[in-house]
Amino acid sequence: MMKVPSTFESYALTEDELRVATRFSELQRAMLHNLRTSYALQRLEILYDPQKPTKFMQEEAELKGSIAVLTYLLDESAPIINTTL
């Protein structure tokens, strides 16, 4: 792992490091799934106020982004199923 200097910290990871970093335990996957569910439910409960349309759009966009990140992490950490027999 090599740190890449920049305003936003980032790391250059090898393929092996990426593979290990994206494998969550079942407990971690459950926590991420619960968090995604919580954000999805919050998103469904947002009420539109015609007096504050920007507030609605910002709240909706934030939750949508959070859901997308968690979905990405869960998809990346999904166990690889060997389909060859």
| Rounded Cα distance, 66 and 72, in Å | 10
Residue 66 three-state SS: helix
SS3 string, 23-42, reads CCCHHHHHHHHHHHHHHHHH
Residues of the chain with pLDDT under 70: 2, 4, 6, 80-85
Encoded tokens for 31 = 């926590």
Eight-state DSSP code of residue 13 = -
**Predicted model pTM:** 0.77
Task: Give the length of the chain.
Answer: 85
Residue 74 three-state SS: helix
Tell me: the pLDDT tens digits for 3-25? Answer: 767 677 888 889 999 888 889 99
